[in-house]
Each structure stands twice: as C-alpha cells, then as structure tokens.
Amino acid sequence: MFELKAQMYFSAAHHLLNYDGACENQHGHNWLVEAYVSGCGLDKSNILIDYKVIKKNLKEILDYLDHKDINELPDFQGISPSSEILSKFIYDKMKEKIPQTSKISVWETPTSCASYYEV
C-alpha cells in the first residue's frame, strides 16, 4: 500500500457552539490541512496520483473556507465547526474528487490536530 500526503494552509475564524470556555467566542486559526491518498496501483510513471492533482482539489475546498467566518457558511449553519467537523467536511469533499482519499488531518495549532478517516 502506498500513501501520499499533501499539506496546505487556510486562515479562518470560528466559534464553538454549546461549549463552556474561551473557544465559544469568535477566534481565528491558521489551519494546516493534511490530505492523505492511499492505494496499491501505480501508473506507468510509477506514481499513485500526481501531487498537483491532490493540491488542486484540496485548494478548491480550502478556498471555500479561507478568510471566512466558518459559522456563517451555509454548510455549517447551526453546527459547531470544531476541528473534528472540519476534518470530516474536507474529507467528504476530497473523497468526491479523489476517491483514494484515505484521511484528512486538520491542525488548529502546531500541537493540536483532529483527523477523520473511514474504517
């Protein structure tokens, strides 16, 4: 099994709903997103998928979130946009574009990360 990882950043604000603490207030992050793509078969160039393809599709998804108040986006109305929810949202969108997507990790700080993958 081969696994590729591509990273990209976006900046956005959010606040958590139903949360008792500072994160219930609007605040922002410079989020790091890692997209993982897995598979066994390589093409005639001996690559699983071109990194350009992964990054192009990931950028399209992150552009929707970048420099926005995530709580105000239609996909997050009434939902607490935690790192966990963002990782699943990005995973679902990437899976539509690249079926070999295997995991998405969303870092809100250099030491705090949430990942989503299917078992």
pLDDT digits (tens, 9 = 90+) for 7-29: 999 999 999 999 999 999 999 99
Question: Does residue 18 come out as left (phi exceeding 0), alpha (psi in the -120 to 50 range) or beta?
Answer: left
| Phi, psi at 86, each rounded to 5° | -65, -40
pLDDT band at 43 (very low <50, low <70, confident <90, very high): very high
Domains in the chain, ordered, with CATH?
Answer: 2-116 (3.30.479.10)
- CB contact at 8 A, 10 and 61: no
- Coil vs helix vs strand at 51: helix
Report d(CA 57, CA 52) in Å as an integer: 9
What does pTM read for this prediction? 0.95
Average pLDDT over residues 102-116: 97
| Phi, psi at 94, each rounded to 5° | -65, -40
pLDDT value at position 99? 97
- Coil vs helix vs strand at 111: coil
The DSSP line for 64-109 is: HHTTSBGGGSGGGTTS---HHHHHHHHHHHHHHH-TTEEEEEEEEE
How confident is the prediction for the chain on average, in pLDDT? 97
Q: What is the pLDDT of residues 76-94, one digit of tens each?
A: 999 999 999 999 999 999 9
